């Protein structure tokens, strides 16, 4: 005996009621529950759908699906960060290292030539704050639109929104404005450190937003037939 | 809630990833439910991989780049299949060697006459 379409839909609702709101996670759980229920029916056709479902859900333990969601989120975050790290390392190998060194040196030179360093540093950090913010707003809009049009939410989009947890590091520029305004003296070493930090943050933002996030979306679109770019 | 029916489940905890990799090495692709059933059949019900342990392990292996994922419509639902990547195949060999070494060492300790 096989599950009907409406029973499959019931399973989606069931996972949703048990706090699995992500379609990419629900799909796997629904198939698992369906397989389990059908296996029970092979042995005893008299078991009701609800009882069979209860028995299958019990197998996930007292934590239900929460452990699966938690670990899936952790795994996706770490996948995202590993991808960023892989591209980041590329900027310290030939030929890209030339670009890294050149940008750092160029920024340092501009700092040296400018009498008031804040004219350079504060706008630089502002740009480094604005770019992720614009990205964040766009992704949030896309998530809302996707949910409105398809009635589906995707866990990987939520990972994208938080840049795999890197969003916390990228919020550094937010706090720097006040700090730099209070500084009068700019020793050479401080200027060097400042140039390095700005270039590294810029690289991190560029890699996350313009390389890894689009790559993740393409991968998801290939993997999941239901995922469509809105 | 981990992976075993046998008296001491702790002994098997560390082997879950190896079990998954080994099964996927022997089959072109498998889905979650199939893995749990296969283990049950192969061990004649002695080892029971729980759902709460299997999926986190699969997702972790996928994130580490050891598994690839493929979605297919089967009957009236979507099914997520897992298969080994090239790195996953290499890792399977290394994990199996590690396990074999461990078993050999344990044999030496538990039953020195046999070795």
Rounded mean pLDDT for each run of 10 residues along chain B, 115 residues in total: 50 79 94 93 84 90 92 91 95 90 87 69
User: Is the pLDDT score of A87 beyond 70?
Assistant: yes
CB proximity B11 to A under 8 Å: no
| B1 within domain boundaries | no
**Structural domain count, chain B:** 1
CB proximity B41 to A under 8 Å: no
Q: Is-above-0.90 flag for pTM?
A: no
pLDDT of B13: 65
Closest residue on chain A to B2 (Cα):
A61
Mean pLDDT of A57-66: 88
| B5 within domain boundaries | no
| B34 within domain boundaries | yes
Closest residue on chain B to A28 (Cα):
B80
Interface of B with A in 66-85 (CB under 8 A): 69-71, 73-80
With an 8 Å Cβ cutoff, are B63 and A76 in contact?
yes
pLDDT of B7: 43
Chain A CB contacts of B73 below 8 Å: 225
Can you tell me the distance from the alpha carbon of A43 to that of B35, in angstroms, rounded to the nearest whole number?
Answer: 20
Mean pLDDT of A105-125: 89
CB proximity B10 to A under 8 Å: no
Chain B CB contacts of A79 below 8 Å: 62-64
| B71 within domain boundaries | yes
With an 8 Å Cβ cutoff, are B76 and A3 in contact?
yes
CATH assignment at residue B33 = 1.10.10.10
Mean pLDDT of A80-102: 94
Closest Cα in chain A, distance from residue B51 (Å): 5
pLDDT of B1: 42
pLDDT of B12: 64
| B2 within domain boundaries | no
- Range(s) of the domain holding residue B46: 10-114
Q: What count of other Cβ atoms lies within 10 Å of the Cβ of residue A227?
A: 21
pLDDT of A9: 95
């Amino acid at each position: 005996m096989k599950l009907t379409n409406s029973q499959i839909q019931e399973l989606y609702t069931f996972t949703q009621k048990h706090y699995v709101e992500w379609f990419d996670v629900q799909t796997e759980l629904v198939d698992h529950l369906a397989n389990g229920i059908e296996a029970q029916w092979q042995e005893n056709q008299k078991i009701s759908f609800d009882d069979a479902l209860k028995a299958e859900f019990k197998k996930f333990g007292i934590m239900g699906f929460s452990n699966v969601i938690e670990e899936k989120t952790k795994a996706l975050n770490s996948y995202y960060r590993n991808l960023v790290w892989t591209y980041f390392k590329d900027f310290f190998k030939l030929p890209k290292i030339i670009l890294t060194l050149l940008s750092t040196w160029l920024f340092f030179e501009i700092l040296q030539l400018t009498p008031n360093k804040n004219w350079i540093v504060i706008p630089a950090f502002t740009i480094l704050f604005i770019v992720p913010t614009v990205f964040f707003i766009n992704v949030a809009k896309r998530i809302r639109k996707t949910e409105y049009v398809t009635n589906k939410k995707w866990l990987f989009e939520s990972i994208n929104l938080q840049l795999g947890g890197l969003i916390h590091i990228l919020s550094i520029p937010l706090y720097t404005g006040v700090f730099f305004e209070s500084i009068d003296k700019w020793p050479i070493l401080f200027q060097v450190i400042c140039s390095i930090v700005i270039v590294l943050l810029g690289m991190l933002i560029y890699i996350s937003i313009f390389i890894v996030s689009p790559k993740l979306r393409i991968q998801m679109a290939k993997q999941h037939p239901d995922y469509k770019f809105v | 809630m981990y992976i075993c029916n046998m008296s001491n489940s702790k002994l098997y905890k560390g082997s879950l990833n190896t079990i998954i990799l080994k099964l996927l090495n022997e089959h072109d692709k498998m889905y979650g439910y199939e893995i749990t059933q296969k283990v049950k059949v192969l061990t004649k019900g002695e080892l029971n991989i729980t759902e709460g342990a299997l999926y986190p392990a699969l997702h972790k292996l996928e994130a580490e780049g050891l598994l690839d994922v493929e979605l297919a419509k089967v009957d009236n639902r979507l099914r997520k299949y897992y298969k080994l990547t090239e790195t996953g195949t290499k890792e399977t060999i290394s994990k199996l060697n590690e396990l074999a070494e461990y078993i050999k060492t344990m044999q030496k300790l538990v039953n020195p006459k046999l070795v």
